[in-house]
C-alpha cells in the first residue's frame, strides 16, 4: 500500500494521510474522555465543597474514581499518542511506520477505556485510580488497564519505528527537530511507565480471578507508582515539547542553545521516573536512604531539567520577539506578545502555573520529611491539579486550536471565545488549586466524602479557615469547569461546523521565525523572571520546613 501524502499549505509540512487520520481519532477519544471526566469533576467538586455537599458517599467515591481514570489516564494519553503521530510522521515528513498496527493500538485503548468506565459505572470498581490491593475490583477493571496500556505501548512503538523509517528513508537532513526530540523523550519514559503497568496489573488481574492468592500491599504500591507517577512524567515531558511547539507557532520562537534544551530532556529520561517515590515517603516498607535518593530524582537532576526548560522556553520567545524589534527595556518583548492568541495564552499560563504552583509544591511535598505534613491531604491533589491540569491540560488545549485548523482544516468557530476559554480555565484552575492546597495544609484529607465527619463516632472540629479555602476551591473549580466545557464545545462545533480552510498559504496565521541578525540577543527579561521564580521557590520550601518543625517529634 503506497502512502498518500499532501503538502500543508500553511506549514509546508508533508502530511501522510494515515498520520492525519490517527491523530484525528486519538484526539476525538481524548476530547470525549475530558468530557466524561469533566462531568465527574463537577460532581466531585460540588461534593467536596462543604456548602453544597451534593452526592451521597457511594456516588461520590464512584465519581471520583471515574474522574481520575478519564482525566489522568484516558484524556491525556489519547492526546499524547495523537501528539506522537504528529511529532514523528508529520514533522519529519515521513510515512507512519505501521498504519494498521496503529489502528490496532487505538482499538485496544478504546476497548480498555470502555471496560474500565463500564466497570466503574456498574459499581464494580469503587477502588479509586490507584486500586490499592487488597481492595478489590471486578476483573474487567484490571483487564481494561492492561488493554489500554498495551494499546498505548503500541502507539509509542509506532512512533519509535517511524523515527527509524524517517531516518532510513532520509525524509529529513540533520538532527531531528527539538519538538520531535522532546516527544521521543516522552515516548521513552512512556515505555518504562507502561512496562510497570503490565508488571503490576497482570498479577493483580490474575488475583482478581482467584489464580494468584496474595499480592503484598507494599510491593503493589512500589510497582504501581512506577506506573501512576511515571505516567505523569510522560505528561510533563510531552507538555514541555508542546511548549516549544506553541512558542514556535505563536511567536516563531528561537531556542538560545539547543544543546541545553536537549540535555534537559535527557535528564528527564534518566532521572524523572525515580520520583515515583514521592508517594511512598511515609510508607513502612522502604528505608530512608531509598526514599531520599529516589524522591530527589537522584539529587534533583530532573528538577534541574524543569528549571532549565522554565528558562529556555521563555528565552526562546524573548529572542524571537527582540529580533522582531521589540527590544525596549526588560519586558517590551513580553508586553507586546500575542496575548490574544489562545495558543500563546495557553503557553504562558501553562508554564507559569506549572512552575510556580505545581513545580514548587511538588518538590516541597516530595521532600522526605515535609511529606509527613502533606501526604494524602488535599495538598497533594492541589499540587497535581497545578501540574497535570494547569500545566499539561492547558498546554494541550492551546495546541488544539492549531490541530483543528491544520489537521481538520476547519476554522475555530469563535476565535475570541477560544481565547476567553484559555484564560477562564487557567484562572479557574489557579484559584481552585490554591484553595485546595491551602485547605490541605489544615490536614483536610483527600479522597474523603465528609470533612465535617457527621457520620463518624468522633467529630473532629474543622478550622474555619479550612472551610474558607474549600469555598475558594469550589469557586475556582466552577470557573475551570466553565472553561473546560467551552473547550469541549468549541472543539466539537469547530470540527463539525467550522468554515473549511482553503489550502492557501497564510489562511492559518502562523508566526514567522525572525531572521538571525548575527548579533547577540540578550535574554535579560527571562533572567529576571526566573530569579523571581527561584525566590518564590526558596521561600515556600523553607516555610514548609518551619511548619514541619512545629509538629510533634517523631522518628
Pick out residues in 211-270 that bind other proteins (CB under 8 A). 216-218, 221, 244-245, 247-248, 252-260
CA distance 395 to 198: 29
3-state secondary structure of 461: coil
Answer whether 74's CB lies under 8 Å from 112's CB: no
Residues 33-62 close enough to bind other proteins by CB under 8 A? 57-58, 61
Angle at 320 between CA 315 and CA 323, to 5 degrees: 120
Nearer to other proteins, 181 or 432 (CB): 181
Nearer to other proteins, 122 or 459 (CB): 459
Asked if 331 interacts with other proteins (CB under 8 A), we say no
Nearer to other proteins, 146 or 281 (CB): 281
Q: How far is the CB of 331 from other proteins (least distance, A)?
A: 16
Q: How far is the CB of 509 from other proteins (least distance, A)?
A: 16
Answer whether 232's CB lies under 8 Å from 161's CB: no
CA distance 439 to 418: 31
Angle at 280 between CA 275 and CA 281, to 5 degrees: 90
Asked if 376 interacts with other proteins (CB under 8 A), we say yes
Buried b (16+ CB within 10 A) or exposed e, 144-177: bbbbbbbbbbbbbbbbbbbbebbeeeebeeeebb
Residues 139-168 close enough to bind other proteins by CB under 8 A? none
Q: How far is the CB of 291 from other proteins (least distance, A)?
A: 7
Residues 177-196 close enough to bind other proteins by CB under 8 A? 177-180
CA distance 257 to 261: 7
Residues 508-537 close enough to bind other proteins by CB under 8 A? 513, 522-524, 527, 530, 534, 537
CA distance 165 to 101: 15
CA distance 476 to 84: 32
Residue 197: asked if its preceding bond is cis (omega within 30°), the reply is no
Residues 6+ apart with CB under 8 A from 212: 203, 206
Asked if 450 interacts with other proteins (CB under 8 A), we say yes
Asked if 287 interacts with other proteins (CB under 8 A), we say yes
Number of CB atoms found within 10 A of residue 458's CB: 5
Binding test (CB under 8 A) with other proteins, winner from 101, 128, 485, 536: 128
Q: How far is the CB of 292 from other proteins (least distance, A)?
A: 5
Q: How far is the CB of 376 from other proteins (least distance, A)?
A: 4
Residues 354-373 close enough to bind other proteins by CB under 8 A? 363, 367-369, 371-373
Nearer to other proteins, 1 or 552 (CB): 552
Asked if 332 interacts with other proteins (CB under 8 A), we say no
Which segments of 287-339 does DSSP mark as H helices, in order?
288-295, 297-323, 332-335
Asked if 374 interacts with other proteins (CB under 8 A), we say yes
Q: How far is the CB of 483 from other proteins (least distance, A)?
A: 27
Asked if 468 interacts with other proteins (CB under 8 A), we say no
Stretch that binds other proteins, among 112-120, 152-160, 193-201, 460-468 (CB under 8 A): 460-468
Nearer to other proteins, 155 or 359 (CB): 359
Nearer to other proteins, 312 or 494 (CB): 312
Amino acid at each position: 500500500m503506497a502512502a498518500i501524502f499532501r503538502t500543508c499549505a500553511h506549514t509546508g509540512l508533508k502530511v501522510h494521510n494515515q498520520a492525519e487520520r490517527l491523530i484525528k481519532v486519538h484526539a476525538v477519544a481524548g476530547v470525549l474522555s475530558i468530557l466524561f471526566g469533566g462531568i465527574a469533576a463537577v460532581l466531585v467538586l460540588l461534593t467536596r465543597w462543604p456548602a453544597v455537599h451534593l452526592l451521597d458517599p457511594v456516588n461520590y467515591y464512584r465519581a471520583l474514581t471515574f474522574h481520575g481514570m478519564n482525566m489522568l489516564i484516558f484524556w491525556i494519553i489519547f492526546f499524547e499518542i495523537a501528539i506522537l503521530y504528529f511529532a514523528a510522521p508529520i514533522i519529519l515528513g515521513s510515512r507512519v511506520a505501521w498504519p494498521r498496527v496503529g489502528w490496532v493500538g487505538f482499538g485496544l485503548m478504546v476497548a480498555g477505556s470502555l471496560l474500565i468506565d463500564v466497570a466503574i459505572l456498574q459499581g464494580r470498581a469503587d477502588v479509586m485510580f490507584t486500586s490499592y490491593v487488597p481492595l478489590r475490583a471486578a476483573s474487567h477493571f484490571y483487564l481494561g488497564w492492561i488493554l489500554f496500556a498495551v494499546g498505548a505501548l503500541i502507539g509509542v512503538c509506532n512512533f519509535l519505528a517511524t523515527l527509524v523509517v524517517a531516518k532510513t528513508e532520509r525524509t529529513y537532513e540533520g538532527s531531528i527537530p527539538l519538538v520531535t526530540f522532546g516527544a521521543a523523550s516522552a515516548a521513552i519514559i512512556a515505555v518504562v511507565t507502561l512496562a510497570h503497568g503490565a508488571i503490576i496489573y497482570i498479577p493483580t488481574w490474575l488475583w482478581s480471578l482467584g489464580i494468584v492468592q496474595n499480592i503484598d500491599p507494599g510491593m503493589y504500591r512500589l510497582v504501581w507508582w512506577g506506573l501512576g507517577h511515571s505516567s505523569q512524567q510522560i505528561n510533563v515531558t510531552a507538555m514541555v515539547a508542546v511548549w516549544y511547539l506553541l512558542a514556535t507557532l505563536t511567536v516563531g520562537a528561537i531556542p538560545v542553545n539547543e544543546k541545553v534544551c536537549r540535555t534537559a530532556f535527557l535528564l528527564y529520561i534518566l532521572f524523572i521516573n525515580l520520583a515515583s517515590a514521592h508517594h511512598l515517603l511515609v510508607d513502612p516498607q522502604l528505608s530512608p536512604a531509598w526514599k531520599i535518593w529516589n524522591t530527589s530524582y537522584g539529587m534533583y537532576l530532573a528538577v534541574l531539567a524543569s528549571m532549565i526548560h522554565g528558562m529556555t522556553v521563555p528565552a526562546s520567545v524573548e529572542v524571537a520577539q527582540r529580533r522582531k524589534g521589540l527590544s525596549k527595556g526588560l519586558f517590551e518583548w513580553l508586553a507586546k506578545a500575542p496575548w490574544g492568541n489562545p495558543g500563546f495564552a495557553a503557553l504562558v499560563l501553562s508554564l507559569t502555573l506549572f512552575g510556580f504552583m505545581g513545580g514548587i509544591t511538588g518538590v516541597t511535598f516530595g521532600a522526605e520529611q515535609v511529606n509527613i505534613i502533606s501526604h494524602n491531604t488535599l495538598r497533594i491533589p492541589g499540587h497535581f491539579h497545578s501540574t497535570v491540569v494547569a500545566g499539561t491540560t492547558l498546554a494541550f488545549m492551546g495546541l488544539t486550536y492549531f490541530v483543528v485548523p491544520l489537521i481538520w482544516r476547519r476554522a475555530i468557530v469563535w476565535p475570541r471565545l477560544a481565547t476567553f476559554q484559555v484564560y477562564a480555565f487557567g484562572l479557574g484552575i489557579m484559584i481552585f488549586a490554591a484553595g485546595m492546597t491551602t485547605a490541605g495544609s489544615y490536614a483536610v484529607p483527600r479522597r474523603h466524602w465528609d470533612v465535617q465527619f457527621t457520620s463518624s463516632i468522633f467529630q473532629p472540629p474543622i478550622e474555619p479557615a479550612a472551610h474558607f479555602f474549600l469555598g475558594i476551591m469550589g469557586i475556582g473549580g466552577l470557573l475551570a469547569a466553565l472553561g473546560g466545557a467551552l473547550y469541549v464545545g468549541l472543539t466539537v462545533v469547530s470540527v463539525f461546523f467550522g468554515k473549511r480552510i482553503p489550502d492557501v498559504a497564510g489562511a492559518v496565521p502562523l508566526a514567522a521565525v525572525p531572521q538571525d541578525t548575527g548579533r547577540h540577543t540578550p535574554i535579560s527579561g527571562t533572567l529576571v523572571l526566573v530569579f523571581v521564580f527561584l525566590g518564590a521557590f526558596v521561600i515556600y520550601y523553607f516555610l514548609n520546613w518551619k511548619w514541619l518543625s512545629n509538629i510533634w517529634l517523631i522518628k
